[in-house]
Structure 1
Amino acid sequence: MNSFERFCFNLLGNRMKAKRNDYAQLKNDLISARFKTPFEVYLSTAVVSAVLVGFGMAAVIGLITWLLRLPNLIQYKGAVPGFVIVLSQHSLVIGTIVITVFSLLVFGGLTFAAFLMYPGIEAGNRQRKIDASLPYAINYVTSMSTAGITPAEVFRLLGDSPIYGESSVEARYIAREIDIFGRDLIDALRLVSASTPSKRMKEFLQGAMASISSGGNLTDYFRNKADQYALENRQTQKQFLDFLALIAESYVTAMVAGTLFLIILQSIMSVLSGDNNPMFLYAIVYIMIPFGSLAFVVMISTMTPET
């Protein structure tokens, strides 16, 4: 907790403790994202930051509005009510106040909304990373369990292996519950499965709990899950390759053949009409092709599975 967060907590911390039920989703997202900032500290920081950003942007925009006299640029045409004519004499003051208050609400609200959304976004990123690394982590767990290592030590070793990314982070939380808080393995698995953002990890941990509780062979369970996730990974990769082939065909059709056809057509029409300034041709070359290509890049980057 840095000095700014400490200041925000000292200012609003006691009030934010009463907001736990109102922001239950935010609390869950903070836990799933594995943020080290407590709920009261984070919410206090969000409120203070929203107020500071709102007032700061409102002051800047209000000053610009006053110096440039933007409200005086408004002109009234035709018949208008009498009170509008009276207020127009003070349009600079009224307009500046309205714009300043509007800026305060907009920028303050956007800042607070960004604070509320950020943990959920990070939890979603962690979910994708866990799902990507989980099959390899389970293979590691299976190997350790086959060698006769106890389940608690297996998760402890997985947590000490950073090559498995976010799956190792979840394993470290299991080891923390056991080593620091003195819980048994089943309680540790239950707590981490309840807070992990990945449904696949949740399913895996709950299955491990059931296998331990029923006295089943945990090694066989790990081996079956490793085979299952390996098969799912192959299917996911095949679906992505099929999707990538479809995107490639769409790009060639829309951004290569389509734009080439439009350029040729517009060039012929410009020659026939004697147009020396073909704006549509400029729009194709400088707007449609760059932004269309960028849209395809963003779409492929979004759909690409985590590696």
Structure 2
Amino acid sequence: MLRNYISQWIKRDPVRFTSLHADMISARIGMTTEQYVWRAVQVSLLAGIAFAALGFVASLSFTLPSLEGRIGITNVFGLQLPAFFSGQVPAFVIAVAVLVFSFAIGMYLGYALLMRLPGIEKTNRAIKINLTLHNAVAYMYAMRKGGAQLMPIFQSISERADIYGEVALEFRQIVRDADFFGYDVVTAIRHLSETTPSEKLKLFLEDLLSIIDGGGDMGEFLSMRVRMYQEEARFEQKQFLNVLSLVAEGYVTLFVAGPLFLIIIMVVMGMTGGTAVLQLSLVTYAILPIGSLIFIVLIDLISIKAEKTERYTTIKWLHAYPDITIVKKEDEAHQFEQLKKYDRIRTIADHIRHPLESFITNVDHTLYITVPIAILYITSVFLRVPLYRDVDVYLGVVDDHIVLALLIILIPYAIFYEIWSRKVLGIQSLVPDFLERLSGINQVGLTIAQAIAIMVNTNLGLLSYEIRRIKRDMDWGANFTEALVRFEQRVSTPAIARTVTLITKASEMSGQISEVLSIASSDAKMSEALKKERLTEMFIYTAIVYLSFFVFLFVVAVLTMQFLPILADIDTQGLSTAGSISSFGSIPLATFARILYHACLMQALFSGLIAGQMGESSVAAGVKHSCVLLIIALVTFNFVLI
């Protein structure tokens, strides 16, 4: 009944939902407007019920204050206030009113959020499309250079969503319109330009249509557009760094200086009898971690980062001789099973012979060993530590070992991640030079395979070993494409994946790909320059994070060693305000000291992660900073402040 009413409502007022319909198409929601609005109404009803329940529970303990004395604004005009504000309204009536109000607020928020969700998804898709558009255009240029027509180009890119992400998904719309709806390529391109969420892709498609209609040189157009997008990436990087600087300053202000100010105030409140322990615990165990996680997510959302890429292996059925009858023997099945068992045993044997190599290739493998060790360690600690009657003493003994268990997990992870990062970054920094040399050799008439054979003798640092492996694969029977794909699998980074995909497709289309290699080289140079620029700009904020932590640690150490003992020793028996000041004596000094220690540990852990997220666009890169800061805090409170 309600669903039919919603459908009729949309049909009577279609203009009201025009923008929603356009956002849903651009976001590729895959639902009709009626279906989505009905889903939004269902979610809003559930949100309203949840808000109403919370509001009703909160209102049970809520009573309006009596408007007597000097509460509120003085009624100098003698106005008669409604009876509702007289304080005589029953609590049940107030609870019902709050329930209805909360239900309405919950429904409104749920419905409004669902109505804006397609627009948010549209914006996210636009960012992802802009991120890889220049790579996709370079791929189009490589295929066009080899003589491919537009539709095969779009078909090829649409099949590589693992490499080109949202751009490939957009080009699937062109392929779908041509294959299933019978559109010609021009109409399909125009339809995509009308529905894509990316303004940059829209302008590119409109200019492409102009080249098609005017009979211009499409190869030259694609070449110029790739170089233009590479220059635009520098401007986007500068804008991003400005925003990131603002976020970094906001984090230092809100979650380093702010908590430090609150801690000082709450310690003083403890002297005057306030509920400082509860508030200090709230800041330490809730505000610090939750706020830091929000900042990590925020930086991740606004970061210009490469999409993760994967390459899928396809199995081809060999039917080169369809006239020959294939006979399947029953005794072959166990041989295939033996081969699978051999592969598993060989993998295990490789891990045993080269355990460190496995950890470097996939850093997450360290967790399979360190997490069980940390659990066994902390379990043995709990079994060995006696159950002290004083909870503060028990926590003071155990919390250091919890930090040690955390370091058991984090330190190996940080070490192997750093080894992997230095190796990969070293290879990526040499890729532009490698591509430039390939381009120069290809220009004199040699093939790419011959160029690889020549470059074996060159010195390209870490990349020289990989070039020798590529040459060895080709000597053992692999073609150039297969050897490059294996190189990509060994390094496994998005930049290498896109470069390999571009080169392999260009080499398949034509033997002379020097210009394509030149474009790939300039793109790799630009990526490296942007990465170095970000590291340089963010180094100052990483240093600020360290300095802010040292200030935080110093102030907390002064409070722990100088201020708290003096307050604890104050004799309050002869003071007229003994009821307030002496209440500090009821709070153990160890409780304040422990919470302050934990605040330093929280600050160390999350400040390190945010430093890595800001500087290297990876939380994993911040693990090493967290380990350093945790060790400093641990040593300071256990060996220095004695």
Q: Same fold (TM over 0.5)?
A: yes
Following TM superposition, by how much is the alpha carbon of 1:121 offset from its aligned partner in structure 2, in angstroms?
0.6
Aligned position for 1:26: 20
- 1:196 is aligned to 196
Q: Distance in 2 between matches of 1:176 and 1:226?
A: 26
CA-to-partner distance for each residue in 1:251-300, whole Å, 9 max, x for gaps? 789987x789979xx69x98xxxx69997xx69x8499768866764553
2:61 to 55, 63, 70: 70
1:40 aligns with 2:31: no
The higher radius of gyration belongs to 2
Check whether the contact 1:8–1:48 (CA below 8 A) recurs between aligned residues: no
Alpha-carbon contact 1:194-1:202 (below 8 Å) kept: yes
After TM superposition, list the pairs within 5 Å mapping 1:217-296 onto structure 2.
217-237=217-237, 240=240, 286=284
The unaligned stretches of length 5 or more in structure 2 are 70-78, 307-642
Q: Aligned equivalents of 2:27 and 2:243: distance in 1?
A: 30
Give the C-alpha shift of residue 107 in structure 1: 0.3
Q: Please say if residues 154 and 175 of structure 2, whose CA atoms lie closer than 8 Å, have aligned partners that are also in contact.
A: yes
Aligned equivalents of 1:85 and 1:127: distance in 2? 52
Identify if the C-alpha distance between structure 1 residues 85 and 131 changes in structure 2 by more than 3 Å, giving closer, same or farther. closer
Residue identity over aligned pairs, in percent, reads: 29
Provide closer, same or farther for how the CA distance between residues 159 and 276 of structure 1 changes in structure 2, counting only shifts above 3 A: same
Contact 2:60 2:91 in 1 (8 A): yes
Question: Residue 208 of structure 1 corresponds to which residue in structure 2?
Answer: 208
Greater mean alpha carbon deviation, residues 108-117 or residues 8-17: 8-17
More off after superposition, 246-255 vs 174-183: 246-255
Instruction: Give 2:19's aligned amino acid.
Output: Q
Indicate how the Cα distance of structure 1 residues 133 and 21 shifts in structure 2: closer, same or farther if over 3 A, else same: same
Q: 1:227 to 1:8 in 2, by over 3 A?
A: farther
Specify the alignment match of 1:124 in structure 2.
123
Give the root-mean-square deviation of aligned CA atoms: 4.2
Separation (CA, whole Å) in 1 of partners of 2:93 and 2:212: 71
Residues 124 and 11 (structure 1), Cα distance of their counterparts in 2 relative to 1, 3 Å cut = same
Instruction: Report the CA distance shift for 1:78/1:230 in structure 2 as closer, same or farther (over 3 A).
Output: closer
Take 2:136 and 2:103, find their aligned partners in 1: how far apart are those partners?
A: 48
Query: Letter of the aligned partner of 2:140 in structure 1?
Result: V
Report how far residue 117 of structure 1 moved: 0.8
Instruction: Output the amino acid matched with 1:57.
Output: A
> 1:184 Cα deviation (Å)?
1.4
Offset of 1:24 from its aligned partner?
1.5
Q: Does 1:53 align with 2:43?
A: no
Counterpart residue identity of residue 70, structure 1: S
1:151 corresponds to 2:165: no
Answer yes or no: is the 8 Å Cα contact 2:40–2:111 preserved in 1: yes
Alpha-carbon separation, structure 1, partners of 2:10 and 2:259: 59
TM-score normalized with structure 1 length: 0.76
Secondary structure, counterpart of 2:16 in structure 1: coil
Please report how far the alpha carbon of residue 15 of structure 1 lies from its aligned counterpart in structure 2 after TM superposition: 2.8
Residue type at the aligned position of 1:104: F
Structure 1 position 210, deviation (Å): 0.5
- The one-letter code of the counterpart of 1:64 is V
Paired residues of 2:10 and 2:17 also in contact (CA < 8 A) = no
1:62–1:204 distance in 2 versus 1, CA, 3 Å = closer
**CA shift for structure 1 position 69:** 3.8
Contact 1:58–1:104, Cα closer than 8 Å, also in 2: yes
The answer to whether the 8 Å contact 1:161/1:168 transfers is yes
Aligned pairs, number: 291
Deviations 1:168-205 (A, max 9, x none): 01100011111111111121111111111111100110
1:303 aligns with 2:302: yes
Query: Displacement, 1:42?
Result: 0.6
Give TM-score scaled by structure 2 length. Answer: 0.39
Q: CA deviation at 1:131?
A: 0.3
Q: 1:217 to 1:247 in 2, by over 3 A?
A: same
1:8–1:45 CA contact under 8 A, matched in 2: no
Cα deviation per residue 1:227-272 (whole Å; 9 max; x = unaligned)? 111222244346656776787789789987x789979xx69x98xx
Q: Report the equivalent of 1:4.
A: none
Report the Cα offset of residue 146 of structure 1. Answer: 1.4
Give the distance between the partners of 1:63 and 1:295, measured in 2 at CA.
Answer: 29
Structure 1 unmatched ranges of 5 or more: 1-6
Q: 3-state SS of the aligned residue for 1:177?
A: helix
- Give 1:141 shift: 1.0
* Aligned mates of 1:260, 1:227 — CA distance in 2: 47
